[in-house]
Amino acid sequence: MKKILYLLFITICCGCMRNSETEKYQNKRNNIVDIRDRVEEIKIDDVLIGGNAQLYLINNYLIISDPSSNDKLIHLFNKKNFDYLISTGFRGEGPEEITNIGHIGVDEVHRKFYVNDHGKQLIFSYDLDSVLLASNYKPMIKMKMNEKQFPDRYQYISDTLCFGLIINTIGDFDFKPTVAEWNMSTGEIKPMRYEHSEIEKKRICFAASIEHEIYVECYHYHDLMTICGLDGNLKYNIYGPDWDNRKSNRTLYYADILFCGDKILVSYSGEDTFIKNQNGGVKSKCPTKFMIFDVNGNYLQTLETGYGISDFCYDDENKRIIMSVDDVAIQFAYFDIDGII
């Protein structure tokens, strides 16, 4: 009997040791730095851009995607001084026009960017230099997407290797997102093997790093971040103070994520997803905070910007975070990371 109890004790202890290697519980994340006075407005007077703008960087340029525009959907700026340059991407039903713009993938090496059209289920290819020369430039079709399984967003490495957030449709009203290797040339999708066993309804953002050989999943409605190797094997589950495995949750935790050098930068809320506006309607509430982790998921600090962050990107060359913000006073802003991150 004593021997059985001893073996049971050893088994439990070994299991705890294994879990301690991958399961990290962070009960406090209270290293908060207020950086509102470091946030600088980006004034854009030459072109009208609507809400829900998405930001991308390619070489020396900032791309702003404007899904609410009735004319041109894509605007290019000098990323250093934010001077407006040109607009492209015509909205419409024509052969080279976009009906429902989605993610923009960036190929910096060949100076091309790829635009998802979820209306036509096509990905268009734009040559950057040709766009800069002529606003009436017409793109080529890069590929046709599968209506049942397609990339929502992705990090382009080459035509044969992208890391993407793949949407798998379930009936007419539901879907499941999966991080996967995606071959843009053949359309082949290889889902990553790890899935958290306690999450029933998965809604995530993700980012991949070739340099650090990892990808990160952050859950919108669970206080959970998962770090895996590019081979799909789990490295760490990072549980925040409000972690639980409830299927239905109105609280928004992680909104978006990117790598900032050797740091993981996430926009984080921890508050109710929806709020009432002044007219009594309901609108989504954007997070105002960035949380910073190292590449092993260890929490470092929280940056309070004071502005609702609807999208953001990292300009490594100029060492700044560029943001699209939900605020009555300003629409776009940036802050330098020197002395902060």
Tell me the sheet residues that pair with 32: 302
200: CB partners within 8 A, 6+ apart: 245, 247
CA angle 39, 106, 57 (to 5 degrees): 20
Domain assignment of residue 171, yes or no: yes
Tell me the pLDDT tens digit for each residue of 110-141. 999 999 999 999 999 999 999 999 988 999 99
Is residue 332 a part of any domain in this protein?
yes
- Looking at the structure of the chain, the number of domains it has is 1
**Of 61, 72, 52, 212, nearest to 138 (Cα)?**
72
The backbone region for 289, taken as left when phi is positive above 0, alpha when psi lies in -120 to 50, beta otherwise, is beta
The pLDDT assigned to 135 comes to 81
Is the distance from CB of 72 to CB of 87 less than 8 angstroms?
yes
**155 assigned to some structural domain:** yes
pTM, full prediction: 0.91
Span 134-169, pLDDT tens digits: 988 999 999 999 999 999 999 999 999 999 999 999
Residue 341 lies in a domain: no
Asked, for residue 167, whether it belongs to a domain, the answer is: yes
Q: Could you read off the pLDDT tens digit of each residue along the chain, which spans 341 residues? A: 544 444 444 444 444 433 578 999 999 999 999 999 999 999 998 899 998 899 999 999 999 999 999 999 999 999 999 999 999 999 999 999 999 999 999 999 999 999 999 999 999 999 999 999 998 899 999 999 999 999 999 999 999 999 999 999 998 889 999 999 999 999 999 999 999 999 989 999 999 999 999 999 999 999 999 999 999 999 999 999 999 887 767 899 999 999 999 999 999 999 987 766 666 666 678 999 999 999 999 999 999 999 999 999 999 999 999 999 999 899 999 999 999 98
18: in domain: no
Closest CA to 271 of 291, 250, 300, 296: 250
Look at residue 6 in the predicted model and tell me its pLDDT.
45
Is residue 288 in a domain? yes
1 within a domain of the structure (yes/no): no
H-helix or E-strand spanning residue 325? strand 320-326
DSSP 277: -
Alpha helices in the chain (DSSP H): 2-22, 128-133
**Residues 309, 287: Cα–Cα separation, whole Å:** 6
Residue 304: its pLDDT value, please? 98
CATH number, position 306? 2.120.10.30
| Dist CA 142 CA 273 (whole Å) | 36
Tell me the residue range of the domain where 188 lies: 25-336
Q: What are phi and psi of 294, to 5 degrees?
A: -85, 180
Encode 192-258 in three state secondary structure: CCCCCCCCCCCCEEEEEECCCCEEEEEECCCCEEEEEECCCCEEEEEECCCCCCCCCCCEEEEEEEE
